[in-house]
Amino acid sequence: MNFGRQLKEGLVTQNPVLVQLLGMCSTMAITTSLSNGLGMGVSVLIILTLSNIIISALRKIIPDKIRIAAYIVVIAGFVTMVDLLLQAYFQSIANSLGVFIPLIVVNCIILARAESFASKNGVLASAVDGICQGLGYTLVLLVMSVIREFLGSGTFGGGILNGGDGIRIFPADYGALMMVLPVGGFLTLGCLIALMQWAQNRSKEGKK
Partner 1 sequence: MSESAKIQMDYKYIARLAGTLFAISAVTALLLGLVNYVTAPVIDQIQAEKKAAAMAAVLPADEYPAVADFVPTDSVGALYEAVSGGETVGYVAEVTSSGFGGAMSITVGVSADGAVTGVSVTDNSETQGVGTKVVGDQSVLDGFIGMSGVITVNEGDNAFDAVTGATVSSKAVTAGVNAALEAAGAYLQ
Footprint on this chain of partner 1 (rule: CB under 8 A): 32-33, 36, 58, 61-63, 65-66, 69-70, 73-74, 76-77, 80-81, 84-85, 87-89, 91, 95-96, 98-99, 152-153, 158, 175, 177, 180-181
Closest approach of Cβ 125 to partner 1, in Å?
A: 22
DSSP state of 156: E
Closest approach of Cβ 145 to partner 1, in Å?
A: 10
Closest approach of Cβ 181 to partner 1, in Å?
A: 7
Nearer to partner 1, 177 or 199 (CB): 177
Nearer to partner 1, 13 or 96 (CB): 96
Cβ atoms of 31 and 153 within 8 Å: the answer is no
- Return phi, psi of residue 155, to 5°: -125, 170
Nearer to partner 1, 1 or 84 (CB): 84
Sequence-separated (6 or more) residues with CB below 8 Å from residue 127? 49, 52, 53, 56
Closest approach of Cβ 113 to partner 1, in Å?
A: 18
Cβ atoms of 59 and 133 within 8 Å: the answer is no
Closest approach of Cβ 155 to partner 1, in Å?
A: 9
Across 105-138, b (16+ Cβ under 10 Å) vs e yields bebbbbbbbbeebbbebebebbbbbbbbbbbbbb
Nearer to partner 1, 13 or 80 (CB): 80
Between CA 11 and CA 120 the distance in angstroms is 21
Cβ atoms of 110 and 74 within 8 Å: the answer is no
Nearer to partner 1, 41 or 175 (CB): 175
